[in-house]
Amino acid sequence: MVRMQSVKLLQGAVRHLSPFTNGLIWLVDTSITLGTGKLLSVLALDAHHYQLAGCAPGFQHVRCIAVAVSPSWTGERLADLLERVIAVVGRPAAYLKDGGSELQKATDVLSEWGLGSPVIDDISHAVANMLKRRYEKHPQFATFLSACGQVSGRLKHTVFACLTPPKGQAQSRFLNVPRVVRWADRVLGLLPAGRAKAGSVLAKLRTYLDDLPACRTLIRQFRDDAVALLACQKMLKTHGLTHDTLTQCEPLLDTMASVRVRQEFARYLHHQLETATSLGLDTVGLPISSDPIESLFGLTKQHGAGPIKDANRMALRIPALCGVPTLEEARQVLEITVAQQQALTDGVPSLTKQRRQMRAEPHHLEQLGSGRDQGNVELIPPGKDRSDRSTIIYLPNGYKEVKESLPQRHEVSPTQATVVGNQVQNPVKDRTPI
């Protein structure tokens, strides 16, 4: 609650090549949880992140500017929420998203409304989709996945338990396939050519591997592509996409086994570099990974939500897990009354409460099918007058002092300016969406 009150003043460095924006890149993603609610979160990252931090973005560098739960997220519904956030904090310099169709639709709708910003495609999902298009219909792929499942079941309760494959996932499978392929390549590397002595450890291991050795051709081809892609991915996540990092990726691309994947990845990088150039970040570093928001969803499911992964309970915790905590925030948290908390949570459906009610009053079963679209959590910056700063706190962004000079803002009269964190804001004029 404290942090959402201060979000309306959050701003990044001004981008001269993208005027009338707040200098922030918005990371947008959704997550499926238990029940009908689907969780949406929007995080803000300074467009100058790599110049300010020189490392991959972390939780301390992002701020939650919106979080909401809905039974479904269509492009129009998502665009409506983003429009309301833009009306308070301004238009972002760019959107960073995965390949979800509803997210793409939302950015298209905002462009039609005159609120469009460039779109950056997350590199992890882009790479996974490239590998999927290349290998999903490979004649050995189905055999490989089946063999991995068989091997996992056979090794778990044996002396070879340390060799079990990584856990797979039904959704976004190809985000995890490179790890499984690396595992298979290493396990097969333990098997020397020739016959093994009967009853030996090697002979026993071979009996557990099912059809995995028959997939060597697929494993080697996939490995050669994935190793190069993941090396490029790691470098671009750490340093951002620039002309220099693109040049460093080119020798790695030459080692790839598939010409098709190599060409598709090169086109992806050049397209994203055009976006970086339009934002003036082609020499600074364009954030190209949505890992912070993906990791945030994973952390939220483990922290404070209890055994039932309730989307509404998770949504209430997301703002508190972003940014650097301060003593001033703690003081303001202590000032929040129980009545304020109840006003925020009353009427919000809770799977835990519903479970207790059904145990005590099973005849109220029909109540579960009513009112699911009303009362879900929605936290966005309050649209109050910007001149009301009595509850505004310092917003640390996790960045240390840097020697490089950032683009200068227009001068503001000292009587009209207020410093929030390391940003200068004008308390007199309210921002209107451009």
- pLDDT digits over 146-195, tens only? 888 888 888 888 888 888 888 766 556 678 888 889 999 998 888 877 77
> Both tokens of residue 9?
């003043």
The answer to whether residues 272 and 402 belong to one domain is no
- 127 lies in the same domain as 112: no
- Do 193 and 271 have their domain in common? yes
Instruction: Give Cα 65 to chain centroid, integer Å.
Output: 14
The pLDDT of residue 174 is: 78
Block residue for tokens 């706190």: 393
Q: Are residues 253 and 327 in the same domain?
A: no
Among candidate residues 223, 256, 285, the one where a domain is terminated: 285
Same domain, 158 and 213: yes
Closest CA to 245 of 236, 237, 254: 236
Full residue range of the structural domain in which residue 416 is found: 2-122+290-425
Are the C-beta atoms of residues 317 and 297 closer than 8 Å to each other?
A: no
The string of DSSP letters for 303-370 reads: SSS-SS-BHHHHHHHGGGGSS---HHHHHHHHH--HHHHHHHHTT---HHHHHHHHHH-GGGGGGGGS
H or E element in which residue 379 lies: strand 378-379
Q: What is the DSSP letter of 214?
A: G
- Sequence-distant (≥ 6) Cβ neighbours of residue 338 within 8 angstroms: none
pLDDT for residue 304 is more than 60: no
Of the three residues 285, 314, 340, the one that is the final residue of a domain is 285
Same domain flag for 114 and 127 = no
Which of the four pLDDT bands, split at 50, 70 and 90, describes residue 6? confident
> Considering its fold, how many domains does the chain have in total?
2
Q: What DSSP character marks residue 157? A: T
What does the DSSP 8-state code read for residue 7? G
The residue among 253, 285, 317 that closes a domain is: 285
Residues 192 and 187: their CA atoms lie apart, in Å, by 11
**Average pLDDT of the residues of the chain:** 80
Query: In this model, does residue 228 exceed pLDDT 60?
Result: yes
Q: Is residue 269 part of a domain?
A: yes
241 pLDDT above the threshold of 90: yes
Say yes or no to pLDDT of 36 above 80: no
pTM: 0.79
* Cα-trace Rg, the chain: 25
**Domain shared by 281 and 312, yes or no:** no
Same domain assignment for residues 79 and 149: no
pLDDT at 72 over 50: yes
Does a structural domain hold residue 433? no
Residue 407's contacts (CB-CB under 8 Å, 6 or more residues apart) are: 13, 14, 15, 16
| Structure confidence at residue 191 (pLDDT) | 82
* Statement to judge: residues 181 and 129 lie in one domain: yes
